[in-house]
């Protein structure tokens, strides 16, 4: 079973590439953001719990997120694996993911960082913001702040996964097909 974690700054193409690769490998793409929205919209117990923290202005505890991920994994018993997008973002979350997977006798196969120049990503996000309606994709200052947050928090996970021999980088510049082929070459070699 292949279990992949996609990293990259906003606009790096994680979701786009996950969508292209999931059918090719029979993987389930688990986007943390989509998972939260689904659970809250459908008023699941976990969605209500997450909403209660958010309504209070608090961060949703890691365990609530892990419980959502575990439910999603359990709901897809025939998958050949998973692509996690948006999780983990901290050392504590990475350790929690490892524990959760170990309980199922699984482990992360690879963490893959899609890398691209900040100016290219700003351009991508501003273009996406023209149609997405997302206010955080329409303001360069907000975009660069998101990059800084990524650098301060998520990028630090590089050493965590490097120590396990599971961290890889892929050039995120080029056509969708070229980037997808780079990812396939890496995944096929795992």
Would you please indicate which residues are annotated as catalytic (active-site) residues? 14, 89, 128, 134, 146
Closest Cα partner for 140 from 158, 123, 159, 128?
A: 123
CA distances from 70 to 9, 26, 39, 101, 190 (A): 25, 18, 13, 9, 24
CB of 46 within 8 A of CB of 71? yes
Closest Cα partner for 108 from 190, 176, 26?
A: 190
């Amino acid at each position: 079973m292949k279990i992949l974690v996609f990293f990259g700054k906003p606009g790096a193409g994680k979701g786009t590439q996950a969508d292209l690769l999931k059918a090719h490998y029979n993987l389930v793409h688990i986007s943390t953001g989509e998972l939260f929205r689904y659970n809250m919209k459908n008023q699941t117990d976990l969605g209500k719990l997450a909403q209660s923290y958010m309504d209070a202005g608090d961060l949703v505890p890691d365990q609530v997120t892990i419980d959502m991920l575990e439910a999603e994994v359990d709901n897809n018993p025939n998958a050949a694996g998973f692509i996690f997008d948006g999780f983990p973002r901290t050392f504590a979350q990475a350790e929690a993911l490892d524990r959760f997977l170990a309980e199922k006798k699984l482990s992360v196969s690879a963490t893959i960082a899609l890398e691209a120049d900040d100016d290219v990503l700003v351009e991508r996000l501003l273009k996406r913001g023209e149609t997405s309606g997302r206010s955080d994709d329409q303001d360069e200052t907000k975009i660069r702040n998101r990059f800084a947050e990524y650098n301060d928090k998520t990028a630090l996970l590089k050493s965590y996964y490097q120590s396990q021999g599971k961290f890889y980088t892929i050039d995120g510049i080029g056509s969708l097909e070229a980037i997808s082929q780079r990812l396939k070459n890496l995944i096929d070699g795992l």
